[in-house]
Structures are given as C-alpha cells and as structure tokens.
C-alpha cells in the first residue's frame, strides 16, 4: 500500500522504517521544515534514534499536501498535543478513501478528548479511524526486536486491515473493538509511569514500584470502566502490557521524567532536560479532570498532578498514598474482573 506517516519523531521514524520493511511505499511528514530537511538529507535523527537510517526512496517532507498525495492510509504519529493541528492541516488535502490509524498515546489537555475523538472532530466525516497501541518502544521496533500491539476500531474491517498492514515476523498485531479502552490504557499508563519514576528517584525499591503498578492498573481500570471501556481490555497489551514496559524500561521518557522529579528536579527543569515528549505530564491534568467528572477516585493520578502542578513534594505524596484509610483490595461496589 501507499502510506503516509505524519510525525518525524522517534515513533514516526520507527514505524516508517517498519512499514517500509513490510513492503509498503512510504512518505514521512514533519511540520518543522528544518527538522524534515535534516532528516531528508541525513536519513537519521541522531537525537532520538541514533544509528537508525531511513532508506533513500522514502520521501521526507514538510509539505503535507506532497506527503499525503496518493496515500491509501495515514499513520498519525505526532505527539498527542499536536494531533488536532496536524489533522486540521491534513484535512483539506486528505486523499479520497484513505483511512487513518493514530499511534499517539495521550489525552488532549484542554478538552480531555481521546485522540480518535480529536481526529473525528477535525477530519472529513467519511474518514475511517483506528488506533494502534501496546508496549512498543521505538528504540526496539526500529531494531526489529519482538513487539506485540493492538489494532482497535469500531469498524472490524479496518481493525483487520491495520493488523495486516503492520503485522510482520517481529511485530505481532491483535485486533479489538474497544477503542475507548485501548486509547485510555495507552494514555493513562503514562501517568502511573511518572509515579513509578518518582519511586525510582526516591530510591524506594521494588516493593513500592510493584504496589504502585498494581494499584495503578486498578485505578486505570476503574476510571476506564466508568468512561465506557471494557474492563478486560485493561488486562491486555494496551494497558497492562504497556504499563509494565513504561514503568520499568530505560527507554521510557515518562518514567525518566518521574525519576528526575523524585531526585529533586522541578517539572520545568526536568522537561528542559528531556529530548522527547513525556505524554503523561499533560495527560495527568486531563485524567484528573475526567475522573472528577466521572466521580471516580484516582489517588495516584491525583498525587502525580499535585507534584507536577501544585509543587507538592514527592516524599509527601508517597506519605499521602500510604496514609489513606485502610480498606479491602476490592470494595463491595466493584465488580471488575480480568
């Protein structure tokens, strides 16, 4: 197929290379003209994926009309805060009949919308939308390391098309109809990963991180179910799998940001030191707002928000979580089953 990838960051580059290996014809767009030109010339972004080279026959451009021309499918690989503007830029010259699959993992800060909702609002009404999510660091996918993800769409034919397009001998794709659950799992785990990084920065050990990940999964599932997702989705690749890798991996930018904060850095200082975007920062604000609207208790998310935006000390946040009133692991009102 002729495919266009929007977004020249690490994930966009890794997926462009992956899809090229799978035999597709590729173009890669980035809104930043200087960045796109550098990538076109050098075929490498040494800041985010050193040593990973794009083949010469992949078109790299900052002209979105040129990038989209003739595409049968589009991969939205920009950071979540750029999905709306990128969709607006693409809409006027969107190729007739082309579907879109979004691989960004986040919630829009101002509206609390999921990325598929942002796309639906800004693209033509006849554009079919899917999402692709799971434990999939760009650093490993670009080096053909085994990876497994989930393709989700309300249109089962599109979910299967995405599965076929992306599937390879090292990149396994499952399908799902639970778009809400797959998107929320991929977005909300980043908030828990910041908390996990804070435990690393504070030197709190493995017990604390294991507890945080487990209760974080429970928290995500509770909120997701209240927002209409299927609880069992959160026990799968798009949440539990992604949560594990994002909370533990050296590649995880959200865990790294949390670690910096746990060691005493302010949010501003930690962000300045980051090469790539930590999606969990903006998502923590959106997730907290969603939880308040849904009247769902999310204590870990609440404490991450207070540390990031209200200046609460990381150690104080840990004490707050541990000092909460003792309770059963599952209370009588919860019927969440994996």
Is the separation of the CB atoms in 55 and 65 below 8 Å? no
Q: 10 Å Cβ neighbour count for 77?
A: 29
Structure letter (DSSP) for residue 107: B
| Distance from C-alpha of 238 to C-alpha of 240, rounded to nearest angstrom | 7
| Distance from C-alpha of 190 to C-alpha of 198, rounded to nearest angstrom | 13
Rg (CA), the chain: 20
2-177 CATH choice from 3.40.50.720, 3.40.630.10, 2.40.50.140, 1.10.10.60: 3.40.50.720
- CA-angle at 95, arms to 94 and 99, nearest 5°: 90
Q: Is the dihedral of CA 84, 90, 91, 94 positive or negative?
A: negative
| Distance from C-alpha of 135 to C-alpha of 240, rounded to nearest angstrom | 9
Sequence-distant (≥ 6) Cβ neighbours of residue 107 within 8 angstroms: 80, 113, 114, 187, 282, 283, 286, 287, 290
Q: What is the CATH number of domain 180-322?
A: 1.10.1040.10
Q: Where in the chain is the domain with CATH 1.10.1040.10?
A: 180-322
Helix runs in 79-142, H state only: 83-90, 115-122, 138-141
pLDDT at site 274: 84
User: Which residues carry out catalysis?
Assistant: 189
pLDDT at site 337: 44
pLDDT at site 277: 78
| Distance from C-alpha of 298 to C-alpha of 209, rounded to nearest angstrom | 17
| Distance from C-alpha of 211 to C-alpha of 143, rounded to nearest angstrom | 32
Sequence-distant (≥ 6) Cβ neighbours of residue 335 within 8 angstroms: none
Beta strands in the chain (DSSP E): 2-6, 25-29, 59-61, 73-76, 99-102, 129-133, 147-152, 171-176
Is the separation of the CB atoms in 170 and 147 below 8 Å? yes
Is the separation of the CB atoms in 226 and 171 below 8 Å? no
pLDDT at site 278: 86
Distances (CA, A) of 19 to 25, 75, 98, 139, 149: 8, 10, 16, 15, 15
| Distance from C-alpha of 202 to C-alpha of 259, rounded to nearest angstrom | 8
Q: Where in the chain is the domain with CATH 3.40.50.720?
A: 2-177
pLDDT at site 275: 76
Sequence-distant (≥ 6) Cβ neighbours of residue 117 within 8 angstroms: none
Instruction: List, for the chain, all residue ranges whose pLDDT scores fall below the cut of 70.
Output: 332-338
Structure letter (DSSP) for residue 326: P
Is the separation of the CB atoms in 53 and 194 below 8 Å? no
pLDDT at site 335: 55
| Distance from C-alpha of 99 to C-alpha of 181, rounded to nearest angstrom | 21
3-state secondary structure of 149: strand
pLDDT at site 338: 42
| Distance from C-alpha of 6 to C-alpha of 9, rounded to nearest angstrom | 9
């Amino acid at each position: 197929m002729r495919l266009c990838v929007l977004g020249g960051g690490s994930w966009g580059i890794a997926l462009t290379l992956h899809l090229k290996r799978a035999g597709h014809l590729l173009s890669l767009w980035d809104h930043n003209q200087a960045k796109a030109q550098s990538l076109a010339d050098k075929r490498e972004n040494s800041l985010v994926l050193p040593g990973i080279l794009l083949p010469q026959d992949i078109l790299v451009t900052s002209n979105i009309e040129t990038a989209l021309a003739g595409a049968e499918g589009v991969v939205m690989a920009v950071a979540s805060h750029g999905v709306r503007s990128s969709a607006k830029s693409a809409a006027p010259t969107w190729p007739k009949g082309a579907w879109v699959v979004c691989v960004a993992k986040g919630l829009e800060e101002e509206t609390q919308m999921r990325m598929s909702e942002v796309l639906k609002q800004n693209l033509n009404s006849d554009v079919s939308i899917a999402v692709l999510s799971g434990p999939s660091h760009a650093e490993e996918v670009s080096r053909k390391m085994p990876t497994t993800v989930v393709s989700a769409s309300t249109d089962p034919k599109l979910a299967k098309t995405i599965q076929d397009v992306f599937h390879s001998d090292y990149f396994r794709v499952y399908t799902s109809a639970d778009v809400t659950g797959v998107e929320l799992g991929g977005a909300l785990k980043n908030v828990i990963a910041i908390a996990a990084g804070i435990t690393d920065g504070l030197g709190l050990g493995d017990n604390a991180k294991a507890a945080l990940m487990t209760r974080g999964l429970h928290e995500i599932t509770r909120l997701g179910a209240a927002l209409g997702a299927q609880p069992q989705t959160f026990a799968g690749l798009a949440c539990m799998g992604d949560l594990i890798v994002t909370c533990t991996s050296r590649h995880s930018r959200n865990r790294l940001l949390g670690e910096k904060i746990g060691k005493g850095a302010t949010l501003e200082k930690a962000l300045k030191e980051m090469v790539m975007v930590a999606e969990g920062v903006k998502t923590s604000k959106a997730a907290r707002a969603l939880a308040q609207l849904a009247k769902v208790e999310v204590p870990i998310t609440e404490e991450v928000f207070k540390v990031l935006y209200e200046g609460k000390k990381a150690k104080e946040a840990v004490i707050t979580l541990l000092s909460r009133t003792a309770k059963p692991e599952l209370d009588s009102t919860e019927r969440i089953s994996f």
